[in-house]
Amino acid sequence: MKGRILITGYNGELGSKTLKELVSIGKSVIALDINDPKEKIHSVKYIKDTIANKQLINSIFNDYHISEVYHFAALLSQTAAQNPELAFEINEKASKNLIDCSYNFGIKNNCITRFFFPSSIAVYGPRKIENASEQDIIKPTTIYGNNKLIIEQYGSKLHEQSLFKKIGLDFRSIRFPGVISYDTVPCGGTTDYAPQMINNAKKGEKFECKLSPNTELPFIGIDKTISSIIDIMDLEIIESKLRAFNVQEANFSVTELSDFLLQKFPSFQITYNENKSFQSVADTWPSSLNCKRANKFWNFSKEKDFEVFLEKIINK
Ligand code: SER
């Protein structure tokens, strides 16, 4: 039986682009979000509701044969810190329920439900490290990082249980660094300063940065983000107990980014107003990621030079 794909949070930065990509390769998609679609694709079935609605989630799995889930609905790091209870409800409780349904209906339908979970560099901590690999110290200090880690571990546990039965859940996760898009400017995250700064520089607007000039973080462009999601979900099997993978295209400090933008847009103006809730988070996240496993499993390649990466972003 040909299955359907369920996407949650399809209006977001990653969800909207993944939805389009899946439709373009002929997949049959059910798309769930708390808001109405910004644009409608004829073949997609849209549902407007919260992922915290357990009954609805159950009925989606009951009514359709869901073979793959892409679960993007979440509160980002800064929004989660301001709404810890809602972060627990959405990022943790509702995510666990979605994983449970994927696992239980996989068993019921005698198949494996493939599940994609966008994790984050927020799972690292408490100290900033360089070239972080997946097995490095993982003691997140933020609510968001803890939510992400708990879901990585929960999904991995049910994945492992499924291995013995050969039915249930196939859990796959990528730990994303800051994502930079060409056409949307995100907010609610700690890494969002970079796409915001790029956007202001392009528009000739001033930028007030909440992070200190020497703060270094890893980043990836939206195209590589989406292709990584498609690639990891396309793999027939991933022979690894560790279900989370690091990806990055480039890492740079705030100053490196602003210097680059000043070369391109000489009238660009940046001021600093360090904000503790942003800085204290960025200081616990890695400055760069080791992507060897992603390279091994789906040939993930990264830019060697951050300026080449930024050049591509601003010229798009
Ligand atoms: N980009 C996210 C954030 O800053 C991290 O996953 O919240």
The number of folded domains in the chain is 2
Answer whether 76 contacts ligand 1 (Cβ < 6 A).
yes
- Measured in Å, residue 78 CA sits from the centre of ligand 1 at 8
293 falls within a domain: no
Same domain, 233 and 140: yes
Please name the residue whose Cα sits nearest to atom 6 of ligand 1. 120
Question: Probe ligand 1: pick from 79, 190, 217, max atoms within 8 Å of CB?
Answer: 190
CA of 64 to the centre of ligand 1 (A): 32
Question: CATH number of the domain that 112 lies in?
Answer: 3.40.50.720
| Shared domain check, 32 and 166 | yes
Residue bearing the CA closest to ligand 1, atom 2: 189
Nearest atom within ligand 1 for CA of residue 188: 7
258 Cβ below 6 A of ligand 1: no
Tell me if 296 is assigned to some domain: no
- Specify the pLDDT at position 183: 85
**Do 101 and 203 belong to one domain?**
no
Asked whether residue 230 is domain-assigned, the answer is: yes
9 Cβ closer than 6 Å to some ligand 1 atom: no
Report the separation in Å between the CA atom of 190 and the middle of ligand 1, taken as the mean of its atom positions.
5
Q: Are 275 and 212 in contact (CB under 8 A)?
A: no
Do 152 and 282 belong to one domain?
no
Distance 106 CA to ligand 1 centre (A): 31
Ligand 1 and 189: CB distance under 6 A: yes
Is the beta carbon of 225 within 6 A of some atom in ligand 1? no
Residues 164 and 31 in one domain: yes
- Same domain for 253 and 149? no
Series of mean pLDDT values for 10-residue runs along the chain (316 residues) = 90 96 97 96 97 98 97 95 97 98 97 98 97 95 97 98 96 98 88 96 96 98 97 97 97 98 97 96 97 97 89 90
What's residue 1's pLDDT? 53
Ligand 1: does its nearest atom lie under 6 Å from the Cβ of 196? no
Does 25 reside within a domain?
A: yes
On whether both 44 and 63 belong to a single domain, the answer is yes
User: Ligand 1 atom closest to Cα of 190?
Assistant: 4
* Ligand 1 atom at minimal distance to the Cα of residue 192: 4
Distance (angstroms) between ligand 1 centre and the Cα of 191 equals: 5
State which residues form the domain around 209.
Answer: 179-220+249-286+305-314
* Closest atom, ligand 1, to C-alpha of 77: 7
- In-domain check, residue 95: yes
Ligand 1, atom 5: closest residue by C-alpha: 120
